[in-house]
Amino acid sequence: MSKHIQQIKPVLTSILLASVAVVPMASLAAVEVTPKSAPNAAVLTGSTFTPPDPSTIPNDEFGKMVQLGRNIMFESKKYAPQYVGNSLNCVNCHTDGGAMAGSAPLWGAWVSYPAYRSKNKKVNTYEDRLQGCFRYSMNGKMPPLGSDVLVALSAYSYWLAKGLPTGDTKIAGRGYPDFPAPKQAPDFVRGQAVYEANCAICHAANGEGRVVNGTVVFPPLWGAQSFNWGAGMGSIKNAAKFIFANMPYGQSYSLTPQQAWDVAYFMDGHERPQDPRWEGSVAATRAKYHDNKNSLYGTKVNGVLLGDTGAPKPFNE
Amino acid sequence: MFQFRSLSSSRSLFWPACGVILTATSGAVWAAPPPEAASCAACHGAQGEGMAAAHYPRLAGMPADYLAEQLHLFASGQRQNAIMSGMAKPLSAEQIKTLADYYSGLPVTMAAPAQTVPADLKPRGEQLAVYGDWKAGIPACFRCHGPGGVGVAPAFPALTGQSATYLDQQITAWKNGTRSGDPQGLMHTIALRMSDADTKAVTAWLAAQKPEAAVMGKTNQAGGAQ
């Protein structure tokens, strides 16, 4: 167990003791043990920042754009239909509409841009960064710079970050918290067992999520309606960090780090929409964009050569 | 368990009462009820619509898997309820499936919300139902129970179209351990994070939602629907 986890463990233990204390023990005798968990992803990040409450969004022209940005976070297809190509909503990976520490909060990103990104080898503005979300995570189309969608998301991010020092790229709570490297190499079969025990009740056995009355309730984790191969969540490491801090929903930090690595491998070991940076072949695309141990693109998993689905499908609004 | 055993004698009074009422309400317009449903109608209504005034929940339109699971939990004592334990224990697995499928297939027939939400409970109730309160580790109800709380098969029941008291009793039961067996302890975990005021607000708000929102739509796989 790493130093990092040893440091955070006492915090977690005290939380668990506090919550268990109110339960009459006798009544639990015949009950399976509820997974130990933290209330939210922020708990183990050391974050002390509190973004403003949504009820304080100003009632003026600026506030309207802030509210639009917040709406896009929760209902992406409804409020940005021309740019969203799948069933996901931003909030699926940015808990609490991008306000939650440890869940890639928008306020953490806002104070960190412009920044150089090795992903596209240039200095990205905040709007450039948002474009990447739509192109990859939403498997859609990049909103033009200066478009209402990007202005609204920028306004919302700026509003969330009120009081934070610009340029504090190491601010606690940014992104998903770092956690230990796996003791054992992540494994598809172990990951499947973790998935079936902890994830399938919501995301379904086939990973395609659940829809009610035309609304996506539980997001698809792979398949045609999920993020594409270019998305950050396609990195096993990134997905494992997200899962460890945020999943199962409402049960942060209840999986072991190894379980998070294994289930991330299982999720990312399935087929999904083509990387829009397609280089004409799986091998060439892997060589240029996926040649690292955290991407299973272009490798064989369970007998399937992942990414071998031809050129990206054209975007349909 | 002791509490359950001492109360279960009320069964002997209950069954004849069911029979009387059932006679008056049989001849369902939707589907012929299976014989097993005779015991259910007195409290849950001829069409499974529930009896809000007495806090008996609606069954109509609930996910079949959820209903079946509850009967098994009543029988095992993981969900403790004097009346329902007595009802569920004699049922075979096959009978449970028959009942669950029958009630799941019935239409939701409530004509109006059972209650209105008091003004002082409305903002907190709506916040918890729609957005949750992540500082306290409480996810939005609708995040798992679906938009409008319509329920998401197979495991997540509808929340609207139930009385505030019934919903309140469930959260309290998860908190104190008299209801368990919820998948992965999801509701047990959340209930422990809810104050009594939170519970009161959100159950009052849910009970006041429009009944059409209580009709569970067809649950599809995300990949197939869009």
Residue A305: strand, helix, or coil: strand
| Cβ-based neighbours of A203, under 8 Å, separated by 6 or more | A209, A210, A218, A219, A220, A221
- The pLDDT of residue B211: 56
The pair of structure tokens assigned to B80 is: 């403790």
Dist. CA A110–CA A96, nearest whole Å = 16
A263 contacts in chain B (CB < 8 Å): none
Q: Residue A217 is inside which H or E element, if any?
A: strand A215-218
Which of A27, A218, A251 comes nearest B177 by C-beta?
Answer: A27
The distance between the two most distant Cα atoms of chain A, rounded to a whole number of Å, is 63
In the stretch 272-311 of chain A, residues with CB closer than 8 A to chain B read: none
| Cβ-based neighbours of B2, under 8 Å, separated by 6 or more | none
A303 versus B32: which is more confidently predicted? Answer: A303
pTM for the structure as a whole: 0.86
Dihedral sign computed on CA atoms, order B69, B73, B74, B75: positive
Among residues A249, A258, A245, the alpha carbon closest in space to that of A47 is found at A245
Residue A21 in contact with partner chain B when CB distance is under 8 A: no
Residues A261-288 have pLDDT tens digits of 999 999 999 999 999 999 999 999 999 9
User: What's the full length of chain A, in residues?
Assistant: 317
- The pLDDT of residue B52: 84
A214 contacts in chain B (CB < 8 Å): 217, 225-226
Which of B150, B180, B186 comes nearest A250 by C-beta?
Answer: B186
Which of B143, B185, B225 comes nearest A249 by C-beta?
Answer: B143
Supply the Cα-derived Rg of chain A in whole angstroms. Answer: 20
A250 contacts in chain B (CB < 8 Å): 137-139, 186, 189-190
Supply the Cα-derived Rg of chain B in whole angstroms. Answer: 17
Dist. CA B61–CA B210, nearest whole Å = 16
Among residues A299, A266, A272, the alpha carbon closest in space to that of A285 is found at A299
Which of B148, B150, B192 comes nearest A23 by C-beta?
Answer: B192
Asked if the Cβ–Cβ distance from A32 to B180 is below 8 Å, we say: yes
Phi, psi of B143 (to 5 degrees): -60, -35
- The pLDDT of residue A33: 55
**Domains located in chain A, CATH noted:** 3-44 (no CATH), 54-160 (1.10.760.10), 188-305 (1.10.760.10)
- The pLDDT of residue A144: 98
The pair of structure tokens assigned to A140 is: 């859609």
A99 contacts in chain B (CB < 8 Å): 134
Residue A224 in contact with partner chain B when CB distance is under 8 A: yes
B192 contacts in chain A (CB < 8 Å): 19, 22-23
Under 8 Å between Cβ of B144 and B98: no
Share of chain A above pLDDT 70, in %: 89
**Separation of CA A198 from chain center:** 17
Dist. CA B73–CA B103, nearest whole Å = 17
Which of A96, A212, A250 comes nearest B189 by C-beta?
Answer: A250
Asked if the Cβ–Cβ distance from A250 to B177 is below 8 Å, we say: no
For β-strands A304-305 and B219-220, DSSP reports them as: unpaired
3 state SS for A17-57: HHHHCCCCCHHHCCCCCCCCCECCHHHHCCCCCCCCCHHHC
Interface pTM, i.e. ipTM: 0.85
Q: What stretches in chain B show pLDDT beneath 70?
A: 1-31, 110-114, 211-226
Amino acid at A47: S
B217 contacts in chain A (CB < 8 Å): 212-214
CB pairs under 8 A between A and B: 139
Among residues A67, A40, A45, A41, the alpha carbon closest in space to that of A160 is found at A67
Residue A71 in contact with partner chain B when CB distance is under 8 A: no
Residues B75-125 have pLDDT tens digits of 999 999 999 999 999 999 999 999 999 999 998 876 566 678 999 999 999
A118 class by beta-carbon count within 10 Å (0-12 exposed, 13-18 middle, 19+ buried): exposed
Q: B147: cis peptide before it, omega within 30°?
A: no
**Domains located in chain B, CATH noted:** 2-104 (1.10.760.10), 122-218 (1.10.760.10)
